[in-house]
Every structure is written in structure tokens, then in C-alpha cells.
């Protein structure tokens, strides 16, 4: 069975919007695009490369696909597997694209992702894709959160956990803190929530 692994840059207050650059996603008037840049260092770079070099297919929302499709075909040296990975794209507005191989999913996305998880193949990596993430979380389809938690609060923006988040328990399987204060942590599902007596 394939796992859905969510990989996100996230602020202390849960914002995942536009970490990479000012023009990445200014929707809703978001003015802090590129907020991860001051925190880059060799330790974070090594952790990112480790994840990027694992076998994977991509599970992306349409907006993230639209941002990535014109960029990554010309930057394969930075992420060799991104162009050969199958891109599963959740979209009710587009059904094809030039960045291949791509499979476009519409309709009941949760049901289709659940079916893809049952197939043979590499794990499904989700980057960005805020709207898709809410569907995956609401339908309990996420197996692992690999998070880079930055020492910053943004106050506004799209958040990783929004309305519809289901109760779930996780365990830390790997973690490190970079010299610039970014906590890189891997959370894997750990069954149901237990409470004290």
C-alpha cells in the first residue's frame, strides 16, 4: 500500500502559504511570500534533499501544479525525480497538461486517492496544495506529515490544519533542529487518540 506523505514548510501558527517566493501565491492579499528564505542553511538543505531524492509520485492540487509545471521541466538538475514522477493532479477545471507524466483527478477526490493508495508504486508526496490537503485530512488519507516548522508567526494565510481536521494520534520518528531554528520533524500515524483517566 502506498502512503500519502505531506511535506510542508509551516510557520508556528500553521501557515503554509507561499513559502518559496513573493509571487508564489498572493491570493487573499497574502503579503509574506518567500518567508522561508532567511532560515535556509546546510542542515535544512540536506534534510530537503534527502526527502526529494526518495522514490515518489506527486499528489498535487491544481494551483500547485500550475505553479510547478512551467518551472520544474527547466530545473531538473535541482530535483532529478520531479519530472519522471507521475503527477496526480486534483482538478475540476483542467484535464490535461504539458508536464508529463500526469493523471488528472476530478469528482470524488478522496475516493480516487484512496484507490491510488491501494495500488503498487512509490509513496505519494504532497507539497503545497492547501485545498487538496484539507480534503485529504478530512478523509483521513494522510499517513505521514514531514514538516519544517519555522520560528515565525504570520497571522494570516492558508493553514495546514483548518476546519474539518479529524482527531488523530501521531508519533515522531525523526527530528532535528537547524542552526536557524527550523524544526524538521517526521510525524507518522500512531492509531487513535488516548486520553488520561
Average pLDDT, stretch 178-195? 94
What is the model's pLDDT at position 191? 83
* 197 has pLDDT over 80: no
Q: Please answer whether residues 118 and 129 qualify as being in contact, where contact means their C-beta atoms are separated by less than 8 angstroms.
A: no
pLDDT of the residue at 76: 87
The alpha-helical segments, DSSP class H, found in 30-172 are 42-52, 62-68, 109-117, 130-138
If you average pLDDT over every residue of the chain, what do you get?
94
What pLDDT is recorded for position 124?
98
pLDDT tens per residue, range 47-78? 999 999 999 999 999 999 999 999 999 998 98
190 pLDDT band, cuts 50/70/90, is: very high
For the cut 80, the answer to whether the pLDDT of residue 25 exceeds it is yes
pLDDT tens digit sequence for 152-176? 999 999 999 988 888 899 999 999 9
Is 77 within 8 Å of 48 (Cβ atoms)?
A: no
pLDDT tens for residues 69-124?
Answer: 999 999 989 898 999 999 999 999 999 999 999 999 999 999 999 999 999 999 99
Cα–Cα distance, 161 to 12 (Å, whole number): 12
Give every CB contact of residue 60 below 8 A, 6+ residues apart in sequence.
68, 87, 88, 89, 90, 126, 127, 128, 129, 132
All domains of the chain, ordered by start, with CATH? Answer: 4-152 (3.40.430.10)
Helix 109-117, helix 130-138: angle, nearest 10: 70
Amino acid at each position: 500500500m502506498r502512503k500519502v506523505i505531506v511535506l510542508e514548510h509551516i510557520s508556528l501558527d500553521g501557515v503554509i502559504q507561499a513559502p518559496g517566493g513573493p509571487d508564489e501565491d498572493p491570493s487573499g492579499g497574502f503579503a509574506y511570500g518567500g518567508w522561508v528564505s532567511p532560515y535556509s542553511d546546510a542542515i535544512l538543505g540536506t534534510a530537503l534533499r534527502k526527502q526529494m531524492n526518495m522514490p515518489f509520485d506527486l499528489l498535487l492540487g491544481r494551483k500547485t501544479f500550475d505553479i510547478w509545471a512551467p518551472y520544474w521541466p527547466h530545473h531538473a538538475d535541482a530535483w532529478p525525480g520531479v519530472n519522471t514522477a507521475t503527477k496526480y493532479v486534483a482538478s475540476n477545471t483542467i484535464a490535461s497538461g504539458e508536464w508529463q507524466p500526469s493523471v488528472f483527478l476530478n469528482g470524488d477526490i478522496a475516493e480516487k486517492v484512496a484507490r491510488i493508495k491501494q495500488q503498487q508504486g512509490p509513496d505519494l508526496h504532497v507539497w503545497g496544495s492547501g485545498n487538496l490537503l484539507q480534503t485529504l485530512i478530512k478523509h483521513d488519507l494522510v499517513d505521514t506529515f514531514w514538516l519544517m516548522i519555522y520560528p515565525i508567526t504570520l497571522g494570516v494565510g492558508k493553514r495546514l490544519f483548518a476546519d474539518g481536521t479529524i482527531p488523530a494520534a501521531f508519533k515522531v520518528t525523526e527530528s532535528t533542529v537547524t542552526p536557524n531554528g527550523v524544526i524538521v520533524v517526521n510525524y507518522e500515524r500512531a492509531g487513535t487518540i488516548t486520553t488520561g483517566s
